[in-house]
A and B are shown apart, each in its own frame.
Chain A
Amino acid sequence: MNCFVGIDLGSTITKAVILDEAGEVLGRGITNSRSNYDLAAEVARTEAFVTARFGLLRKEVEKAAGGAMLDRLLRAFRTEQTLVQLDRLQHHIDAEVVSTVAGPLQQPVTEVIDEIFRRLRQEEEDWFAGRTEGTRSDFFRDHVGSGWARLSEELGPPVDVSFDLLLSLYDKCIIKVENEPLELGFQDHIDAALARIGDVEGVDAVRLGVERARDAELVEVATIGTGYGRARLPFAKEQIRSEILCHGLGAHRMFPNTRTVLDIGGQDTKAIQVDGRGIVTSFQMNDRCAAGCGRYLGYIADEMNIGLHELGPLAQRSSRRVKINSTCTVFAGAELRERLSLGEQREDILAGLHRAVILRAMSLLARSGGVDDEFTFTGGVARNPAAVAALEELVAENYGDRTLNISPSSIYTGALGAAIFAMRAAEEGRGVAGTGTRQEA
């Protein structure tokens, strides 16, 4: 099957989308961005092919084997991927201890590290077995990182191994793991994943499906990449499209009546106008300063010691919004503490902060030509209910009734647009494939 790949190398997250010949989404992949852009793009692409093959598998055997069985297989697959990365992390940390930790300290440090890894592996097994509560980050760096910090604090100090030393070992070595090519594809772990779920009833149907999914020929005919602010992108020049155009087209694909797009990402905000075919007619974006972007909310969450996803719901409890003037991330902490010391409620301050973020976006929207119907909101901040509520309110005040679209997969908007560009380029016979290769499972 021919397929078309779009990759969006964002400031914090890299996304990939694969389309099939009919233009339907076949797979999506996501990873945290890192200094090695080629690898970030490659990991996202590999992930997208993993989900594509799981998608094929699901189509094949969902009826016969049931969704729960497939969910379990995917979980097993994720666990196998994590264990491989844990092995690599331990390899690098062991080497780091030998080369940097003073002789007499090496033994206690190694003992603590061995214990941390033993427990991390156990936690992974618990997660697979469904014994862990809550959700976990999609990114190895984040979910292992939080476990590492917790276990280091618990296990290090009692045996006089400093917490800071353990943390610095992790910080150094996680970068090495992220920047080395690892085998994380479908073929690499699907057999182990199958073995992991064991000989339960219905597994034969799954096995058969796995064989078909493994053998499915996925030929990457064309790839288009996008990404902002990079000195270089890991794509050939003819394979690059502007992020603005990709977002416009992606939003059009998700909601065909879209005329205005607002994207608030980690470090930039974009206001885009598109025509009936998804072609950009005007755009504005923040310039030198990233005030009021997603990172601002991230910083506020850190200051308040709460999760980013908790910010919006907390702000929504406000009954008396505080007026916040500055969206400067650097000043945010001070302003927050000052307001708290004046006796303001956290939820009221947060409500004000969310409104301030959206006010900045409103200015960009106005400069780009206003808010037309329909209006599509994308980017990480679109997942924040308080930001959405503030946007709805301000759009209604300034432009009247508008249909507001938010897709649950809005984070993939840019990658989706890039994949459509890849498909079009292939249709026009323009050589943007680079690979044209069959993707090994």
Chain B
Amino acid sequence: MAPTTKEEVKVQKDRSMILQKEMIAGHFERLEKAPETGEKVVYTFVPGNLTELIRSFGALPLLPEINALQSGMRGKSKGYIAEAERNGHSEDVCTYVKCDIGMLRSGNIGPTGTRLPKPDLLLLSYTGCYTFMKWFELLREEYDCPTVFLHVPYQGDGTLLPEHRAYVVKQLRETIIPALEQVTGRPYDEDLLRENLARSAQAEDDLVAVLHSAKNRPSPIDSYFGGVYYVGPIFSAFRGTPEGVDYYRALRQEVEARVAAKQGPLTPVGRLDDQKYRLVVEGPPNWTSFREFWKMFAEEGAVVVASTYTKVGGTYDFGFRHDPSDPLGTLADYCGGCYTNHNLPGRIEMLERYVKEYEADGFIINSVKSCNSFSAGQLMILREVERRTGIPGGFVESDLVDPRYFSAANIKNRLESYLQMIEARRAGGATSSEALGRLA
């Protein structure tokens, strides 16, 4: 590993990042005090999360995979995973799961250092990731609390049909809402839900403006490494909350100011104004070496202009907004539209659009070892996107939160080779169809 210089130690942060940090800290403090304050806690996952509904019952959402990735970023996942493996979980199991289970077994101290409360309800909104179901089975064993399951049909044919939607709404009405009523002791209040949904839509507008800003040159944002911060509040506990609205307004202003000033985003090597490569990225990031991974891109002048991972909690940039006029129907649409619930052709189409609409020079897949849900079919995706766009794709491999699977030298080598390949093609004036004809 390259020696760390003093300059790198002093991490620069945007104002929105500081704001977000405060929001998260406040949320975790509230969670820690929940057993005393009597606030109810609902564990749920990012894709297909029903935050507006949960909040309308005055309950607090807690997202185990966010805890896992935060533990990864804070260097704690290695120990947690080891703990889970000691308890019999195999090396090949999703490392988010093992990180969470290990954290639980190690005293359940959350990423910000506060103790996490037990769940009053496990609410599984199933949106394409089978592992989530098994994960909650394990948590149910631990906590012995009520568990509800919302089954969202997979977009096998690329769309959510009216009967799918009706099926989800029916479950919301007949299963999810009664469970929330029972746990919180409050009746369902649709007006409150509508208010939350209206706030969601407002924040979503701002988020989409931020995501679209990457069409500028230079791009004022990094839509993958920076993007995971941008989607943080809306993917987790803050969708539909006043703080969420404030955060996205502030973020949008910050980004628009950079557009006006023709500035790039802040990265681990400082502000990236000189952007040599515009990339699209598919797959989750590695969290244990997040900054190191980002630095590899930034050092080469590569900025990510669009990513699919930042759509796992909603594909707002393709037009979806939460609609207060149809509160349960809109939740059904939301759940069905999460990236994890898209089929392979849908994912290919999304990447193709990103490459073309954001005028990308290339696209990279970060294939995650322990996430079959994401990784299965990625090489097919790669070849097909290459064929459709005429741009060669790059492929690197790492993991979510298991540091053993981040081989820095290997990833750097692949990334640099890939970027030099783009450079060589530019210099050589390669016509994409000629170079890639064989791949068709």
Within 8 A of A (CB), among B398-440: 405, 407, 409-410, 413-414, 416-417, 420-421, 424-425, 428, 430, 434-436, 438-439
Q: Known contacts A229-B409, A229-B410, A287-B397: does B417 contact A279 (CB below 8 Å)?
A: no
Pair A279/B421 contact, Cβ less than 8 Å: yes
Most chain A CB within a 10 A radius of its CB, from B379, B395, B417: B417
**A369 — which chain B residues lie within 8 A by C-beta?**
383, 438-439
**Which stretch, A241-249, A305-313, A326-334, touches the partner chain B?**
A241-249
Determine the residue in chain A with the shortest Cβ distance to B407.
Answer: A288
Pair A282/B417 contact, Cβ less than 8 Å: no
Say whether B2 faces chain A, with CB atoms less than 8 Å apart.
yes
**A228 to B417 CA separation, bound complex (whole angstroms):** 10
Say whether A232 faces chain B, with CB atoms less than 8 Å apart.
yes
**A288 to B91 CA separation, bound complex (whole angstroms):** 15
Q: Known contacts A228-B409, A288-B410, A369-B438: does B379 contact A280 (CB below 8 Å)?
A: no
Interface size on A, residues (CB 8 A): 28
Within 8 A of B (CB), among A58-93: none
**A288 — which chain B residues lie within 8 A by C-beta?**
397, 405, 407, 410
Say whether B261 faces chain A, with CB atoms less than 8 Å apart.
no
Say whether A259 faces chain B, with CB atoms less than 8 Å apart.
yes
**A241 to B393 CA separation, bound complex (whole angstroms):** 19
Pair B407/A279 contact, Cβ less than 8 Å: no
**A228 — which chain B residues lie within 8 A by C-beta?**
409, 413
**A232 to B409 CA separation, bound complex (whole angstroms):** 10
**A245 — which chain B residues lie within 8 A by C-beta?**
417, 420-421, 424
**A241 — which chain B residues lie within 8 A by C-beta?**
420
Within 8 A of B (CB), among A276-292: 276-277, 279-285, 287-288
**B428 — which chain A residues lie within 8 A by C-beta?**
277, 279
**A170 to B430 CA separation, bound complex (whole angstroms):** 53
Interface of A is mostly: loop
**B417 — which chain A residues lie within 8 A by C-beta?**
242-245, 280, 283
Determine the residue in chain B with the shortest Cβ distance to A259.
Answer: B438
**A285 to B415 CA separation, bound complex (whole angstroms):** 12
Say whether B313 faces chain A, with CB atoms less than 8 Å apart.
no
Most chain B CB within a 10 A radius of its CB, from A232, A276, A369: A369
Pair B438/A372 contact, Cβ less than 8 Å: yes
**B420 — which chain A residues lie within 8 A by C-beta?**
241-242, 244-245
Determine the residue in chain B with the shortest Cβ distance to A370.
Answer: B438
Determine the residue in chain B with the shortest Cβ distance to A287.
Answer: B397
**A276 to B436 CA separation, bound complex (whole angstroms):** 11
**B337 — which chain A residues lie within 8 A by C-beta?**
none
**A244 — which chain B residues lie within 8 A by C-beta?**
413, 417, 420-421
Pair B1/A282 contact, Cβ less than 8 Å: no
Say whether A367 faces chain B, with CB atoms less than 8 Å apart.
yes
Type the 1/0 row for A257-291, where 1 means its CB is closer than 8 Å to any CB of B: 00100000000000001011101111111011000
Pair B416/A242 contact, Cβ less than 8 Å: yes
Say whether B392 faces chain A, with CB atoms less than 8 Å apart.
yes
Pair A281/B410 contact, Cβ less than 8 Å: no
**A259 to B410 CA separation, bound complex (whole angstroms):** 24
Say whether A159 faces chain B, with CB atoms less than 8 Å apart.
no
* 6 further A-B pairs in the complex, CB-CB below 8 A; given A245-B424, A275-B435: A228-B409, A232-B2, A244-B421, A245-B417, A281-B430, A287-B407
A residues near B, CB below 8 A?
228-232, 241-245, 259, 273, 275-277, 279-285, 287-288, 367, 369-370, 372
B residues near A, CB below 8 A?
1-2, 379, 383, 386, 392-393, 395, 397, 405, 407, 409-410, 413-414, 416-417, 420-421, 424-425, 428, 430, 434-436, 438-439
